[in-house]
Amino acid sequence: MAGNITKLREGYYRLRYRDESQYVKAKTDREAEKLLAKFITDVDSGDFEQPTKVTFKEFAKRWLKDYAEVELAPKTVYRYKQLLEARIYKAFGDKKLNKIKPLDLIEFYNLLRKDHKYISITKDGKAEEKKCGPLSDQTIQHHHRLLSAIFEKAIKWGVLKGDNPAKRVDAPRVPKHRAKYFDEKQIEAMLEALQDEDIKYRVAIMIALTTGARMGEIMGLEWQDVDIKSKTISIRQASQYLPGKGTFTKAPKNESSIRKISVNPSLITLLEEYKAEQQSKGFLCQDNNRLLLMWNGQPMHPNTLSEWFPSFLEKHSLPHMNFHGLRHTSATYLISQGMDIPTVAQRLGHSKPTTTENIYAHAVESRDKKAARLFEAAVNKKKKETKKSSS
C-alpha cells in the first residue's frame, strides 16, 4: 500500500500511510517525497510513534501513583511531591513531555540559582506564590535527579521516545561534606550531661550512640525487640511522621536494615531500669508495647528526639549536631578504634560495606595514620635495640 502526500501550504505537508499520519516541513515536493519514504519505512518497521500529547504534569502524577507511591518510602514520596509542586510543575507542568529539551533544564537550574518565586501549599491545600533566595547546588541536584528519574521511566514505559533530556545536562557538582560527629571528649561531656535528663532520653541517646540506629528505627522499637538475656536489639520497623499522613509505622529503609545488634551491658542495665519505671506506672499494661513513651504512656511523637536533642546540646554548651549525628558518631568511633568495615556496615544496616567506607572515609583515614604510627614505633624500637646491642 502506497502512502500519499497532501500539500497544506508552502513548505508544509501531511504524510499518510496505513492508519498513521505525520505533519512535516519540506522546502520542495521532492524533499517531501523523501520524507514520505522514510515515514513508510518507520511505520513498517514499528519505529514510528505519534508525538506524545501527554504533558509533564500528567505523566508525573501517573509516575507518583503507579511507581513512587508503590516502590519508594513515604518520606521520599513526600519530598518528591514538594519538589514537583513548589517549582517543577511551575516550569514544566503544562509542557508536552517530548518538548522539554536539555536547554530548558539548564535554564530552569540557572533560575533556581537566583532569587525566584515558588509555590507553597498551605495546610488547607491552597497554593500560594512566595519569594525565596537562590537554592544550594545540593537542592538543585535533587531537582535534577527527580527530573531524570521521571524522564527515564517515561522512556521505559513507552510514553517518551528518544533520549532522556536530563542525561544531556551536567548535574550541579556538590562537594562532599564530612558528616558531623562527636570525638571522644565530646562523647564523655555529652554522657555526663545526660545523667540529669529524663531516663527515656538517656535510653534514646545510648541506643543511638552504641548501635548507630536511625532515629525512626529507635522510635519504632518495642520491648519485644530487646533481648535482655542475649544482650541484643532487633531492628525490624521504623516510626515516622508526615504532614497530612500523621504518625505511621513502616519497614526499615531497606532489606539490610532489618538486623540484630549486640549491645553493651551498661545499656542493658539502663533498659532494665527504664522497663521497671514503665511497669511501676502501669504503661506496659496498655495496648502499645513501644519502648519510648510520653508522660501518659502513649508512643512518643517521631519528631520529639529531633526537636529535643539540639536544645539539650545548647543547654550544656555542647557543639551543635542533629540527632542523626549520633549515628555518625557511633560509626566513626568504632572505625577509629579498629573495628572492621563489614561489621560496622552490618550494625548500621548498610547493604554494602563500600557505602560505610565512603561515608566514613575520615575515620578510615584516621585509622590508616594510626597504622603508620604503629610501624614507626616498631621501627624506632628496633633501632634502639640495635644501637643498645652494639654499644
Q: What mean pLDDT is predicted for residues 18-34?
A: 89
290 shares its domain with 351: yes
- Quick one: angle between helices 184-194 and 304-315, nearest 10? 100
114 shares its domain with 263: no
193 shares its domain with 264: yes
CATH classification at residue 255: 1.10.443.10
CATH classification at residue 94: 1.10.150.130
- Domain boundaries, position 311: 184-364
Residue pLDDT, tens place only, 142-157: 999 999 999 999 999 9
328 shares its domain with 217: yes
Q: What is the pLDDT of residue 286?
A: 59
How sure is the predictor about 384, in pLDDT bands with cuts at 50, 70 and 90?
low
How sure is the predictor about 374, in pLDDT bands with cuts at 50, 70 and 90?
low
**Residue of 390 and 8 predicted with greater confidence:** 8
Q: Which of 280-289, 323-332, 359-368, 373-382 has the lowest mean pLDDT?
A: 373-382
CA atoms of 312 and 320, how far apart (whole Å): 10
Tell whether the model's pLDDT for residue 367 goes beyond 80: no
231 shares its domain with 344: yes
The overall average pLDDT reported for the chain is: 89
11 shares its domain with 101: no
268 shares its domain with 204: yes
131 shares its domain with 267: no
In percent, how much of the chain has pLDDT > 90? 62
Residue pLDDT, tens place only, 102-122: 999 999 999 999 999 999 987
Most confident by average pLDDT, 12-21, 219-228, 374-383: 219-228
In a domain, 390, yes or no: no
200 shares its domain with 344: yes
Residue 341 in contact with residue 353, Cβ under 8 Å?
Answer: yes
Q: What mean pLDDT is predicted for residues 132-149?
A: 95
Give the number of domains in the chain.
3
In a domain, 339, yes or no: yes
In a domain, 334, yes or no: yes
71 shares its domain with 114: yes
Q: What mean pLDDT is predicted for residues 282-301?
A: 80
139 shares its domain with 195: no
Q: Considering 141, 168, 195, which residue would you say is the last residue of a domain?
A: 168
Residue 201 in contact with residue 292, Cβ under 8 Å?
Answer: no
In a domain, 162, yes or no: yes
145 shares its domain with 224: no
Predicted model pTM: 0.74
Q: What mean pLDDT is predicted for residues 336-362?
A: 89
In a domain, 10, yes or no: yes
Tell whether the model's pLDDT for residue 229 goes beyond 60: yes
